[in-house]
Amino acid sequence: RQDQIESLVHLLASTGKLADTAPSTNAVKQGKALFRSIGCLACHDQRQDRTTPLSTSVPLGTVADKYSIPGLTAFLQDPLRVRPTGRMPNLSLSPDEARHIASYLLKDIQVEPLLQYTYYEGSWQRLPDFSKLKPKATGKAAHFDVDVGRENQFAIRYSGLLQLPKAGEYTFHLGSDDGSRLLINQREVVKVDGIHPVQFRQATHRLESGIHDLVIEFFEQGGGQELRLDMEGPDIKRQPVTLFLTSSKNVETDNRR
C-alpha cells in the first residue's frame, strides 16, 4: 500500500507545482479573532497559556505541510465536500472569513518575495502622482501587505511580473481602503480612488499568455487600511493574483491553480 501511495504522490507532483501566497497582516489578525470567536477552540485549543491541552482537543499539526492558503480556504468553506468522511462541521463561513482563518493558521508560511515596493509618506485625498514623490523606503514583499511603515498618511507602489497560462478574458477584482489602481503593461485596468472603507471594483480585459508587467498604486489617509487583488480567467477560479507572480521574464508558463 505504501508503494502505491508513493507512486500516486509522484504522479500528482509531476502534473505541476503548488503555488501559494503569503498571508497579509490584516488577514492574520482577523483570522485569529475568528478562530477564537466562532468555536474553533472547542476542537483545536492552541492557546499557549495551557500547560497541557484539553483531552478533547484535536491537534492541527504542521498545517503548512498539508495546505496552501487557497486549499485551506476551500476546505474551511465546505469541509465535508473536500473530506466526506471527516468530522469537521460546516461553519457556514463566508469566503473572506475562511480566507482569514486560513491566513491565521498559515501565518508562518514562507513564500518567495516576488514584488518590489516603494514606500512614501504624505497626506492625500486621492491617488498622488507617484513620479513626483520622493520615496522613504524600498524593499521586496511576498504580497500586498500595506503594513510596511506608519499607520496613516502613506502611499505604496508595488510592481511585479504577472504570468498568465493562457490567452483569454481575465477579470481583476481590486479592493482597498483607501484608494488604489491597477496597471498592466503600463495601462490602467481598474481604479478605486478616494477615501473610503474597503471597496471592490472589477474590470475584464483580454490578455495574451505569458509575462505581463503589473503595478499597483495605493494610498492610505486614515482609519482602516487594506489592499487586495484577485483574478479569474480561463480555467481559473477567483484567486489572489500573487499566486501568478513570477520572478523572471525568461520562464515557461505553467498551469497553476
- Residue 181 confidence (pLDDT): 98
Q: Give which of 170, 255, 176 is closest to 219, Cα–Cα.
A: 176
Q: Report d(CA 217, CA 188) in Å as an integer.
A: 11
Side chain identity at residue 165, one-letter code: P
For the chain of 257 residues, list the mean pLDDT of each consecutive stretch of 10. Answer: 77 59 76 84 64 63 76 85 80 86 81 92 97 96 90 97 96 97 97 96 96 98 93 92 84 40
Alpha-carbon gap, residue 36 to 158, rounded angstroms:
33
Q: What is the pLDDT of residue 255?
A: 36
**Predicted pLDDT of residue 189:** 97
DSSP notation for 219-248: EE-SS--EEEEEEEETTEEEEEGGGGEES-
A 10 A CB-CB count for 183 gives 17
C-alpha cell recorded at residue 66: 498539508
The CA-based angle 16-20-25, given to 5 degrees, is 180
Can you tell me the distance from the alpha carbon of 79 to that of 40, in angstroms, rounded to the nearest whole number? Answer: 13
